[in-house]
């Protein structure tokens, strides 16, 4: 499998593709522009599935465009998004999207509309975890409840586990456990 990253306006969208032409999975599509479409087409890919880590308004326009270009299934922790029916995902679910297996991780009930996707060795955290920061978009009450759940989830993964956030550069589980001030243990970061 391969991960293609498209960054625009400080936000990341990810295309997960098999090593050969075939069905691909798009995660948190912020922008679907000509260069991104050319990348998809040049590699013989077809976007069959779109995963949302969280129902952010910034995805609405791209999803509308994607649905016009590809026959997609939209997966999210909500029943619908801007009039598009979603295949609802719940923590603990395992999805098979073509040749790509996807695990769904939740943090806690408070952040029930946000999930983390595990594909192969990779974690896609959306706005829950951004390189060195725990979800700046989350209000302070929810934030305080999300941090322990994130710490618990990250503790289960090897340090070299790549983390792909919706904003900012990629990271690893070890980097977050060591240097993220909210996730590092006492005296760690």
Residue 173 lies in a domain: no
Band the pLDDT of 188: cuts 50, 70, 90.
Answer: very low
Residue 156: how many CB atoms within 10 A of its CB? 9
Number of domains in the chain: 1
Start-to-end CA span in the chain (Å): 33
Residue 84 belongs to some domain of the structure: yes
Say yes or no to pLDDT of 100 above 80. yes
- Asked, for residue 142, whether it belongs to a domain, the answer is no
Question: Is the residue at 53 inside a domain?
Answer: yes
Whole-number Å distance between alpha carbons of 63 and 68: 9
- pTM for this model (two decimals): 0.89
| Residue 119 belongs to domain with CATH number | 3.60.15.10
pLDDT digits (tens, 9 = 90+) for 56-94: 888 888 898 898 889 999 999 888 888 888 899 999 999
Q: Does the residue 10 lie in any domain?
A: yes
Please determine, for residue 115, whether its predicted confidence score (pLDDT) is greater than 50.
yes
Average pLDDT over residues 155-167: 93
- Domain extent, residue 99, equals 2-130
Q: 149 near 183, Cβ under 8 Å?
A: no
**Residue 176: inside a domain, yes or no?**
no
Whole-angstrom Cα distance, residue 124 to residue 57?
Answer: 18
Specify if 182 maps to a domain.
no
Residue 75 lies in a domain: yes
| CA 165 centroid distance within chain | 7
Instruction: Please say whether the beta carbons of 75 and 89 come within 8 A.
Output: yes
DSSP 3-state of 142: helix
């Amino acid at each position: 499998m391969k991960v293609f990253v498209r960054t625009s306006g400080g936000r990341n969208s990810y295309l997960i593709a098999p090593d050969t032409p075939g069905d691909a999975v798009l995660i948190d599509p912020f922008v679907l522009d000509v260069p991104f479409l050319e990348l998809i087409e040049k590699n013989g890919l077809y976007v069959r599935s779109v995963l949302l880590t969280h129902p952010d308004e910034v995805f609405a326009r791209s999803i509308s465009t994607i649905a016009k270009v590809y026959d997609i299934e939209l997966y999210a922790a909500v029943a619908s998004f801007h009039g598009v029916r979603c295949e609802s995902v719940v923590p603990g679910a395992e999805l098979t999207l073509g040749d790509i297996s996807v695990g769904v991780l939740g943090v806690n009930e408070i952040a029930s509309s946000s999930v983390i996707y595990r594909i192969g060795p990779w974690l896609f955290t959306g706005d829950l975890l951004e390189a060195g920061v725990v979800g700046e978009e989350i209000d302070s009450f929810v934030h305080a409840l999300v941090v322990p759940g994130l710490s618990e989830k990250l503790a289960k993964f090897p340090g070299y586990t790549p983390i792909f956030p919706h904003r900012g550069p990629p990271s690893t589980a070890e980097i977050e456990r060591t240097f993220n001030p909210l996730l590092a243990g006492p005296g760690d970061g």
